[in-house]
A = this chain, B = another copy of it.
Amino acid sequence: MRTLDEHRSLIEEHLGRLALAGELGGLTDAMRYALQGGGKRIRPALCLATGEAAGAEPEVLLPAAVAIELVHTFSLVHDDLPALDDDDVRRGRPSTHVEYGEAIAVLAGDALLAQALDLALSYGQPEVARELARGTLGMIGGQYLDVTDGRVELVQLHALKTGRLFTAAVGSALWVAGVPEQDQRTWRAFAADFGLLFQIVDDLLDGDGVVNERGVDAAWAFAEETEEQARANLAEIPADTVRLDELVSGLSMRARAS
């Protein structure tokens, strides 16, 4: 079994030499710029760790893992647009629309989504791409709630905007590994916990979201409770889930280091 660092290297390598549709021409510059922003690659890492625990080889999982990162990147490019969050900077660099202009950023986001689905369609079974398409629809539903500022529980908003793509990372790995649907329940419960923990940690680091809603102490307690729940679900999975456990530890260490 590979280490998390080995997984991360595989992901960066695969992203770096990813073939994009030739007809996209110069648009691929903007797509690669957005992809190479140096994110934590937590979603594809979750996909590899899940799939390897379920018995698949990382090489076989990589197209699904990278497809998830493409969808995540598409969402960031569109979220940063002036009409949405209007963020000029993303991970210390000009956001895609600042670097390439708004028109190119809109098209680059569109192309990243279409390319992600084409990549997920490289598998024989349609379930991998279906998992990704449905996760994307849930995520967009979350972005809609965020933009319209509707009266909705923060946890519900996060479950869509962030959680659905974590679930897709786990779910697509399970399909690639050939885990039948009736055996996926606990894995998917873990994915939901993991996505929630990711978001609470993010709010703790930024001092917003759940921290604003419940106060710092309650937010910490919520994180610990969610972490326990995630580990309890992992313990129920009949597989070697040590890398998934390490990913959980990585999240909670991030919060504690702050």
Interface set of A (CB-CB < 8 Å, partner B): 21, 23-27, 74, 78, 81, 83-84, 101-107, 109-111, 113-115, 117-118, 121, 123-126, 129-130, 133-134, 136-138, 140-145, 147-148, 150, 160, 164
Contacts and interface: CB of A to CB of B under 8 A. Distances in A.
A21 B121 contact: no
Contacts of A110: 74, 78, 109-110, 113, 136, 140
A101 to B, nearest CB: 8
Contacts of A141: 21, 23-25, 27, 111
- Kindly name the residue among A83, A114, A133 whose own CB sees the greatest number of chain B CB atoms within 10 A: A114
Contacts of A138: 21, 23
Q: What is the total number of copies of this protein in its complex?
A: 2
B137 A104 contact: no
Contacts of A147: 103-104, 107
A81 B81 CA distance: 12
B111 A83 contact: no
A136 B124 contact: no
Query: What secondary structure prevails in chain A residues at the interface with B?
Result: helix
Contact of A23 (B25, B113, B130, B160): B160
Contacts of A136: 110, 114
B102 A114 contact: no
A106 B106 contact: yes
Contact of A114 (B107, B118, B137): B137
Nearest to A27: B144
Contacts of A26: 144, 148, 150
Contacts of A133: 114-115, 117-118, 121
Contacts of A145: 25
Contacts of A27: 140-141, 144
8 contacts: A23-B141, A23-B164, A24-B140, A26-B150, A27-B144, A78-B110, A109-B110, A114-B140
